[in-house]
Amino acid sequence: MTRSDIQTMETTHNQFGLRIAAHLDAAVADLPHDISERLRAARTRAVAARAMSVQTSPQTVVQNGLALLNGGDEGLNIWNRIGSLLPLIALVAGLATIKNFVDDDRANQLAEVDAALLADDLPPSAYADPGFLQFLKLPTLTEKQE
């Protein structure tokens, strides 16, 4: 939208508001005094609320056909970008460290099971026994003595 389009829309809205106000003013003359006073007080509050909302609205800037909110002098310089990426980098590094730790722990557990299997003289039927894995998880006599 161009500036002239925005001004035309504002003018149209203002004219519509003035016509509504004229109709309301004409109708107020026929109302009792107490009702007209309550309407006057309500109008005053509405105008005051509208004035406050207009003052607190953000400033918009139109550049190259894009409407932008004016955020002040704080631009996205290199330090702001680095500061916004640091938490993401820390999260990824932490997750990678946890994954490596879990993988190493799992490899150590499998190595212990393999070492126990290779060190003991077991018959082949022991490997097919469902309770064999539980047996391997039990502490050995040397571990109990320590």
User: Following DSSP, what letter does each residue of 77-132 receive, concatenated?
Assistant: -HHHHHHHHHHHHHHHHHHHHHHHHHHHHHHHHHHHHHHHHHHS---HHHHT-TTH
Q: Which residues of the chain have pLDDT under 50?
A: none
Dihedral-angle region of residue 46 (phi above 0 means left; psi in -120 to 50 means alpha; beta otherwise): alpha
For residue 5, the model assigns a pLDDT of 79
Tell me the pTM: 0.35
Q: What is the mean pLDDT of the chain?
A: 78
Q: What is the pLDDT of residues 7-39, one digit of tens each?
A: 888 888 888 888 888 887 777 778 888 888 888
| Three-state SS at 74 | coil
pLDDT of 89:
95
C-alpha distance from residue 79 to each of 70, 74, 75, 82, 109 (Å): 20, 11, 10, 5, 45
* Cα–Cα distance, 3 to 11 (Å, whole number): 12
Which three-class secondary structure state does DSSP give residue 76? coil
pLDDT at position 61, please? 58
- Residue 36's Cβ-count burial label (10 Å; 0-12, 13-18, 19+) is middle
pLDDT of residue 49: 79
Tokens of 73: 């002098």
- The tokens 């509405």 sit on which residue? 46
Scan for tokens 């990824």, then name that residue.
92
